[in-house]
């Protein structure tokens, strides 16, 4: 089917408020990304009437229109010609959107920018760790035995997978250091070096910190004695987020301060050495210990609240997580999850996030069965599948929020499912795919109750949407 892309571009330009409302435009593989002066001037209904458009939403100060691979480029060129704009990159449009955000939104965006590039490594590690947990779980498949006990030949496979799974978590500060340095404008290589410094083999492994600090089994904290003036804890930060995040920010400030002040002829010699020495000493002596105790305090506070009123806390989180996704604030929970895993041995937050994603997919799936128009069915089915594998934005923006009641049904299902698993103290040992495959990352003995929660997250939104939203749909 051929399309008049010139006409489609003209209709889009008119619907977003005309050329005087469009500041910049770029596109990725599937979406137009627009920087608008005033998003309230967008005619949402007019955009929905354009055949190629599969959805639209605003995120991070950037208005995004989902068109699809191939077509988006053919629409983009006439759009910028009609608007008399120069081609822009996605980064330029994002930077323009950042300027419109408040302080809290900007802080959340820092977390998003740092963690999104390394999320694939974390997810892969989580899935591998989940597989390993299944192999080593006693009574999961064989009464009183693990698969390793029953089949000793699997021991080599278990060890290999275990090494692969642990790599991303053991060297997590190096990954965060690289990504944070890139975000803060410093040298990415120095960010990696700083991250590796915090997990150097000569430092006490972070997992043994509690035992050494408590003096258990004769263990004691080792120290660097610096010229007899002061001592620095000789402790690593494996799996820790806050220490490397804060240390990399300081490192970048030091590096950016030095660059214009050091002559070009000696920059390569002076800037990296001074940057690493200053930031490294501060990271080990001040930033690391403070950030570690802050991280422990945050995780202890979360655990205390959920222990005090587990059902209420779970239902509130289950109901509020999807609205947080709409604002982009959900990215901060990656750091919280990793901190809980490091300090508590597992996170109770990530399982609830996975169930929230499933609930949004279930509501969208119900809309697929209820829809009459072919374009509505197509949007609902594809967005439901996406949500079931952890990406909920298409389901929320393209289907559930559009009809409102499916979105509320998903929130109700998410809240009930979160309460269900919280009563059974379900936790995940790692972060995996936040949807139907999530059970792989759950602590093996708790998988059955997580599956019960998954059923609640599937059935409740589907049933509520089926009952409540039927009258909202066009009949042709």
pLDDT at 414: 95
Q: Concatenate the DSSP letters of all residues of 251-270 into one string.
A: HHHHHHHHGGGS-GGGHHHH
- Long-range contacts, 16-19 (Cβ 8 Å, 24+): 16/41, 16/42, 16/43, 16/47, 16/63, 17/41, 17/42, 17/43, 19/82, 19/83, 19/84
Compute how many other C-beta atoms are within 10 angstroms of the C-beta atom of residue 177: 30
pLDDT at 419: 94
The β-bridge partners of 296 are none
Closest-CA residue to 33 (of 61, 6, 71)? 61
The β-bridge partners of 442 are 428
What are residue 200's phi and psi, to 5 degrees? Answer: -60, 140
Query: Measured on CA atoms in the order 225, 226, 228, 229, is the torsion positive or negative?
Result: negative
pLDDT at 475: 45
Encoded tokens for 149: 């006990």
Edge-to-edge strand ranges of the sheet holding 22-27: 22-27, 31-36, 62-66, 55-59
Q: Give CA–CA dist 452/175, Å, rounded.
A: 35
Closest-CA residue to 363 (of 322, 326, 329, 325)? 322
To which H or E segment does residue 213 belong? helix 209-214
Contacts of 439 (CB under 8 A, 6+ apart): 447, 450, 451, 454
The β-bridge partners of 230 are 226
pLDDT at 476: 41
Q: Give CA–CA dist 368/363, Å, rounded.
A: 9
The alpha carbon torsion through 350, 356, 360, 365 (nearest 10 deg) reads 90
Closest-CA residue to 292 (of 255, 226, 247)? 247
As a whole number of Å, the CA-based R_g of the chain is 25
- CB 307, CB 422: distance < 8 Å: no
Alpha carbon separation from 42 to 39, 252, 461 (Å, rounded) = 6, 39, 30
The β-bridge partners of 36 are 22
Closest-CA residue to 6 (of 56, 76, 92)? 76
Encoded tokens for 441: 């990352």
- CB 350, CB 336: distance < 8 Å: no
Residue with tokens 């003995």: 445
Contacts of 280 (CB under 8 A, 6+ apart): 194, 197
Q: Give CA–CA dist 206/288, Å, rounded.
A: 11
Write the Ramachandran bin of 70: left for phi over 0, alpha for psi from -120 to 50, otherwise beta: left
- CB 313, CB 302: distance < 8 Å: no
Q: What positions carry a catalytic annotation?
A: 28
Q: 227-236 burial by CB neighbour count: b if 16+ within 10 A, else e?
A: eeeeebbbbb
- DSSP conformational letter for 436: G
Query: Measured on CA atoms in the order 151, 155, 161, 167, is the torsion positive or negative?
Result: positive
Interval 374-403: pLDDT, tens: 777 877 888 888 788 877 877 887 788 778
Q: Give CA–CA dist 8/223, Å, rounded.
A: 67
Which residues of the chain are modeled with pLDDT < 50? 474-476
End-to-end CA distance of the chain: 21
Q: Give CA–CA dist 54/61, Å, rounded.
A: 20
Contacts of 357 (CB under 8 A, 6+ apart): 387, 388, 390, 391, 392, 434, 435
- DSSP conformational letter for 286: I
pTM of the model: 0.65
């Amino acid at each position: 089917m051929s399309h008049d892309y010139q006409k489609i571009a003209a209709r889009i330009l008119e619907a977003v408020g005309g050329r005087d409302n469009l500041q910049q435009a770029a596109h990725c593989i599937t979406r137009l990304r627009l920087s608008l002066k005033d998003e309230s001037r967008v005619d949402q209904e007019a955009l929905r009437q354009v055949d190629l458009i599969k959805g639209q939403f605003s995120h991070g100060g950037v208005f995004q229109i989902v068109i699809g691979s191939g077509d988006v480029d053919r629409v983009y060129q006439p759009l910028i010609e009609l608007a008399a704009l120069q081609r822009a990159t996605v980064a330029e449009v994002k930077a323009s959107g950042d300027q419109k955000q408040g302080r809290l939104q900007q802080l959340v965006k820092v977390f998003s920018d740092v963690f999104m590039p390394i999320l694939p490594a974390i997810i892969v590690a989580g899935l591998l760790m989940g597989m390993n947990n299944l192999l080593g779980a006693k009574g999961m498949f064989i009464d009183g035995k693990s698969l390793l006990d029953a089949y000793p030949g699997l021991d080599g496979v278990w060890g290999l997978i275990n090494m692969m799974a642990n790599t991303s978590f053991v060297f997590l500060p190096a990954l965060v250091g690289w990504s944070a340095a890139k975000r803060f404008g410093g040298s990415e290589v120095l960010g990696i070096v700083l991250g590796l410094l915090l997990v150097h083999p000569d430092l006490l492994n972070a997992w043994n910190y509690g035992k050494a600090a408590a003096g258990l089994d004769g263990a004691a904290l080792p120290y660097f004695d610096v010229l007899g003036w002061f001592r620095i804890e000789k402790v690593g930060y494996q799996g820790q987020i806050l220490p490397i995040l804060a240390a990399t920010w300081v490192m970048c400030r030091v590096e950016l301060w030095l660059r214009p002040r050091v002559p070009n002829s000696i920059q390569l010699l002076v800037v990296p050495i001074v940057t690493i020495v200053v930031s490294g000493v501060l990271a080990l002596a001040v930033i690391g210990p403070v950030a570690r105790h802050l991280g422990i305090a945050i995780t202890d506070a979360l655990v205390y609240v959920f222990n005090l009123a587990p059902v209420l806390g779970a239902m509130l989180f289950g109901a509020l997580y999807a609205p947080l996704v709409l604002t982009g604030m959900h990215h901060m929970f990656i750091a919280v999850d990793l901190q809980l895993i490091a300090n508590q041995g597992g996170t109770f937050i990530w399982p609830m996030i996975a169930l929230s994603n499933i609930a949004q997919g279930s509501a969208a799936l119900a809309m697929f069965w209820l829809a009459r128009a072919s374009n509505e069915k197509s949007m609902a089915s594809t967005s439901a599948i996406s949500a079931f594998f952890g990406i909920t934005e298409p389901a929320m923006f393209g289907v559930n929020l559009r009809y409102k009641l499916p979105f509320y049904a998903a929130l109700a299902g998410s809240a009930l499912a979160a309460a269900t698993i919280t009563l059974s103290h379900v936790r995940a040992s790692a972060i995996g795919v936040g949807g139907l495959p999530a059970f792989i990352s759950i602590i093996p003995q708790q998988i059955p109750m997580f599956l019960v929660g998954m059923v609640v997250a599937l059935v409740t939104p589907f049933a509520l949407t089926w009952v409540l939203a039927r009258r909202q749909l066009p009949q042709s």
